[in-house]
Amino acid sequence: MRWLAILSLAILAILPFFVPQSVVYLLGLTFIFVVYVISWDLIAGYAGQINLGHTVFIGIGAYTTALLQNPERLGIILPHLPIWLTIILGGLMAVAFGFAIGAICLRLKGYYLALVTAILPLICIQLLNVYSDVFGGYEGFSVGFGKALASSLIGKYYISLAFMLLCIIATVYVIKSPLGIKLKAIREDEELAEAVGIDVVKYKLMAFCLSAFFAGLAGAMMVHYRITVGPDLFDVPLMLTIILSAVIGGLGTIYGPIVGAFMIYLAKNYVFARIVQELSLNVSDEIFLYILLILIILKSPEGIFEKVRRMLA
């Protein structure tokens, strides 16, 4: 296990010197995507809450940093803030929303929770459109050339790699902590957990906020990686890609979702995109993603919880 992780890390560390620039760029994006997936897995795989609105946190983190870097859009004057500061503020803003959403929604049970959270990103997208003079509407906006994570591509790559590693380590730490153990207990049997004195709502809410924090950070990182922000960060296709990655890797297994995220993101943006180009099909590469998702759900409909249980058994 350990040597596998070290080996893959070593490969990733030297890779930029052997592959073309476009692949380096794509890998950098993938690292950030990995954080989307593990942060969703924290709430879905460990706390057992199906949150279909995870992209809300990603988007809020993204727009927070983008707007703080372009305060004239908000109609306010701010001193020039360093990028790392606004990225962290993006994460904190996501936590604030996570707390509010969690406090209201976590009372709802499975079905209703899924429904409410599925609707939230759509509201956000609508608001982006209505206040288009601030948020740039469906066209999004550019945070500005020169506000990238680093001026060189290699720099961006390593920052993004380091960010992923930090987030993975933090997540592992959380999972191994007493909080993580209590979350697992809640996931396995909520009533029993409550009976033995675990404050279910509190711990679920904590998990929700943590998940939101990492997602918000990742969303903000994404903005400064690609220097643009737009409603795609809120949108349903991104949510489905995250879910697909986590489900393929195996929910609640830390490393599973990471591997799943690499597979799906590279498959989507590299293999599928290439198939579409080579065959000059006039379709979006997302079509393959949806077909894959449908097939996977059909193949193992017992879905998320059972799968985890079987793997743990």
Partner 1 sequence: MLEILIYGIIIGSIWALVSSGFSLVFGVARILNFAHGTFFVLGAYCAILLYPYLGFFSIVPAVILIGAFGWLVYRGLISPVKGYEVMVILITLALALLVEEILLAIFKDISKSFPSLVSGLVTIAGVPVPTNRLLILGIAVVVIVCLDIFIRRTKVGKFIMATSQDMEASMLVGIDVEWVYSITMAISAMLASLAGILYAQIYAVNPATAFRVLIYAFAIVILGGLGSVRGSIVASFIIGFIQVAISMLFEPRWAEIAALATIIFILIVRPKGLFGVE
Partner 2 sequence: MRRFGILLLIALLLLGCAGEKPVEEKATPEKKAENVIKIGVIGPMDTKYGTAMANAVKLAAEEINDQGGILGKKIEVVVGNTKLDQNTATSEFRRLVVDEGCKVIIGGFSSGVALSMMDTMADLASSGHKVIWLGDASSPRLTDKVAQDYEHYKYYFRPLVLNASTFPLDMVEMLDFLKSQGLNIKKVAIIRDNALWTDDVMKVFKPLLEEHGYEIVMDEKAEKGQTDFSSFLIKAQEKADVIVPILAHVRGDSLVKQWADMKIKIPIAGHDLAAIDPDFWKATDGKCFGEIYTADGGGVPSPINEKMEHFLNAYKAKFGHLPEAYSAYGCYDAVYLYKAAVEMAAKAGEKDPFDPDVLVKYLEKFDREHPFEGVRGKIAFTKNHDLVWGDGFVRNWICQWQEGKQVVLYPNYMATGKLVLPDWIEQS
**Of residues 122 and 200, the one with the C-beta less far from partner 1:** 122
**Of residues 22 and 177, the one with the C-beta less far from partner 2:** 22
Residue with tokens 């976590």: 106
19 binding partner (options partner 1, partner 2, none; Cβ < 5 to 8 Å by kind): partner 2
**Of residues 166 and 294, the one with the C-beta less far from partner 1:** 294
- Sequence-ordered alpha helix ranges (H) in 131-177: 132-135, 153-176
In 23-127, DSSP assigns E strands to: none
Question: What backbone phi and psi angles, to 5 degrees, belong to 160?
Answer: -65, -35
**Of residues 1 and 196, the one with the C-beta less far from partner 2:** 1
Question: What backbone phi and psi angles, to 5 degrees, belong to 177?
Answer: -75, 170
Among 237, 266, 270, 275, binds partner 1 (CB under 8 A): 237
Question: What backbone phi and psi angles, to 5 degrees, belong to 218?
Answer: -65, -40
Distance CA 279, CA 298 (A): 27
Three-point CA angle 228, 231, 237, nearest 5°: 115
Q: Which two tokens stand for residue 137?
A: 């509407």
Chain residues in the site for partner 1 (CB under 8 A): 50, 52, 104-105, 108, 110-112, 114-116, 118-120, 122-123, 126-127, 129-130, 236-237, 240, 243, 281-284, 286-287, 290-291, 293-294, 297-298, 301-304
Chain residues in the site for partner 2 (CB under 8 A): 1, 4, 8, 11, 15, 18-23, 25-27, 129, 132-133, 136-142, 144-145, 148, 151-153, 226-230, 232-233, 249-250, 253, 255-256, 259-260, 262-263, 266-267, 269-271, 274, 282, 284, 311
